[in-house]
Structure 1
Amino acid sequence: MLRYTCTSLLFLALLSPVFAQDYTQSQSEREQQNIEDQEGTPRAKKEKIPYPDKKRGTELGIDISRFLLPVFDEDRFALEAHIRTNIGKRTFFAGALGSETVSFDDKSYTYESTGFFARAGIDYDIFVVEDAGNNDNILIGLRYGYALQEHESGSITIEDGYWGDYHSSVSPYTFSTHWVEAIFGLRSEVLNNFYMSWMIHLKLKISSGNSELLEPYAVPGYGNGSNAFNLGFSYVVGYQIPWGNKKAK
């Protein structure tokens, strides 16, 4: 018992200077000290990290997510190629060109569509990194999209047991669709000059010509033709042809 008591007293003795207040100071000195403690020392101004010299060049790639489209919708098939090139230290021109076909036949409705699409816009890299040799990007950007397609319905049947079935069709005709989209994505150099990137696309339809006659099942590059707003995803694998890079010292 005595051992524990002595140990406790020794512990309190060691801590007493920490909690003790210096009463040798005058009242004014103590008030000044309190003000300084409350105000604290001024923080050092954080130095802004400059944007690093990342690799520049022109990237050519394909959207491999398009090959998975038939898994989720067996009636659709699409191909899409991408290009991205530096127009500034951290800005890029980005474009895409592709095609899409749709074909299905159910009991009361047949539909066929084929067309191409194009997108173009600007990306901006917001990823500032201190690691030397890190060429990854976090991108935000805007795109303008355009699609031209021809579609038709060779057979439309409306069943009616009283008046009899109604049969009709819509001949092939061509129309265009315009939209804008905002993008956010990540781009990473997985091997020397080989990049993989994924993007989320928020798409807003501007106009669609003569779609009232036959509403498109899907607009190439845009998605569901009946929606004013669509959410898209792309996963691009590409190779960057380097140019305009500083030689290593």
Structure 2
Amino acid sequence: MKLRICRYSISTVTVSLRLISLLLLFCIGLPAAGQQPSQKPTPQKSQKQKKKEEAAKVDTIPLYNGTYVGVDLYGIGSKVLGGDFLSSEISVGVNLKNRFIPTIEFGMGGTDTWNETGIHYKSKMAPFFRIGIDYNTMTKKKEKNSYLYAGLRYAFSSFKYDVSTLPVHDPIWGDNINNPSLEDDYWGGSVPFDHLGMKASVQWIEIVLGVKVRIYKNFNMGWSVRMKYKTSASTGEFGNPWYVPGYGKFKSNNMGITYSLIYKLPL
């Protein structure tokens, strides 16, 4: 009987120890679980951070992004279609950071025409020069060969020109007929004149708005509209030129158009 009581007490102690162990493990586990940090939602990026990231992307664009060589077709085409003057030009632009395009333009222009008052204006093909810069307004676009741009130019031309008028020869009576548009209201009649080789020098600025579009591989087409404002002019004493190479008609301001075929040199 004593043996049974002893066995019973031993088994009771064993069960009690197991229960105490489980309670201790449970109590130890509660603080550990309480110390785990709660997961917070990831905050959205601020506008300032986004701007910094965009600026970093822009900074990864290399400084040099190619050189563009263009030939204007509009001046030649307008003469073929019956215009009063002939003009042609070549442009060279360097793409920096796909944002700024410093540009140099060189061309030739001339005219041989009569105006409505019977005065003959003539100038042989003479040079004109432009220098300036364009700004790519589509910098964030991945396509580097097509963009809309705005620009500014300083331009000048130095040339010679002729101004003359001649009386009309009458084929029936064999004499000369006075030019009624040039008739002197005080003395009567009209006196022909012929002033050759007068010198002129003109400077102006241009505000440019244009677009360049890739058409095939390295070939592009470009259109531009230009507002031209004359800043200074030196002309002959016997009359102003009718046409200024690169500027157009001799007046305070002009609007011009270019339509160019452009080739991007391989990098």
Q: Please say whether Structure 1 and Structure 2 have the same fold, judged by a TM-score greater than 0.5.
A: yes
1:201 counterpart SS class = strand
Give the equivalent residue in structure 2 for 1:3.
none
Q: How big is the shift at 1:231?
A: 1.1
Deviates more, 1:206-215 or 1:115-124: 206-215
Amino acid at match of 1:66: G
Q: Is the contact between residue 199 and residue 236 of structure 2 (CA under 8 Å) also seen in structure 1? A: no
Specify which of 219, 224, 228 is matched with residue 199 of structure 1: 224
1:64-213, aligned counterparts within 5 Å? 64-70=73-79, 74-105=83-114, 108-114=118-124, 115-130=126-141, 132-133=142-143, 135-155=145-165, 158-160=182-184, 163-211=188-236, 213=238
Identity of aligned residues (%): 25
**Aligned alpha-carbon RMSD (Å):** 2.8
Report which of the two has the higher share of helix.
Answer: 2
1:242 counterpart SS class = coil
Q: Is the contact between residue 65 and residue 96 of structure 2 (CA under 8 Å) also seen in structure 1? A: no
Amino acid at match of 1:209: S
2:239 counterpart SS class = coil
Q: Is the contact between residue 164 and residue 192 of structure 2 (CA under 8 Å) also seen in structure 1? A: no
Deviations, residues 125-171 of structure 1 (Å, cap 9, x unaligned): 110345x4453111111111011111012335523587222222212
1:56 counterpart SS class = strand
> 2:118 & 2:161 partners in 1: Cα distance?
17
Deviates more, 1:140-149 or 1:45-54: 45-54
Give the equivalent residue in structure 2 for 1:230.
254
Q: Is the contact between residue 146 and residue 177 of structure 1 (CA under 8 Å) also seen in structure 2? A: yes
Amino acid at match of 1:189: R
2:152 counterpart SS class = strand
- For normalisation by structure 2, the TM-score amounts to 0.66
Q: Is the contact between residue 56 and residue 242 of structure 1 (CA under 8 Å) also seen in structure 2? A: no
- Structure 1 unaligned residues grouped into runs of 5+: 1-41, 244-249
> 1:88 & 1:133 partners in 2: Cα distance?
13
> 2:254 & 2:244 partners in 1: Cα distance?
11
Aligned residues: 200
Amino acid at match of 1:159: E
Deviations, residues 74-112 of structure 1 (Å, cap 9, x unaligned): 331111111111244411111211111111247832221
- Structure 2 unaligned residues grouped into runs of 5+: 1-43, 167-178
Change (3 A) 1:70 1:110: same
Change (3 A) 1:231 1:105: closer
